[in-house]
Amino acid sequence: MHVLLTAGPTYEPLDPVRFLGNRSTGKMGYALADAFAETGAEVTLVSGPVHLPAPASPRIRTVQVETAQQMYEAAAAVAPAADVWVFAAAVADYRPATV
């Protein structure tokens, strides 16, 4: 079984220094990734910026992203091959039209 899982926040840049973001830690998504891996699943974890150690399981492949668009593109690339999709990320609702 192949699981696609998203976790953590996304950051939307306002300018080169500031961004819109949230306080999501990614803990739930990372715990779910570990749980799926323990059952024998292959996991693709698409993660926003978090302060957590990389998953130790060799069954978990982590893809690091920053913005909602990057998360969408990374998840969309994996989705056709995944059997299960779990979206636990706290994705930004807004992004500026220009930066």
Query: CA 47 to CA 66: how far, in whole Å?
Result: 8
Nearest to 20 by CA among 72, 94, 87, 73: 94
Task: Please confirm, yes or no, whether 48 is among the known catalytic residues.
Answer: no
Query: Of these residues, 22, 77, 83, 99, which one is catalytic?
Result: 22
Cβ 98 vs Cβ 12: under 8 Å: no
User: Which residues belong to the active site?
Assistant: 22
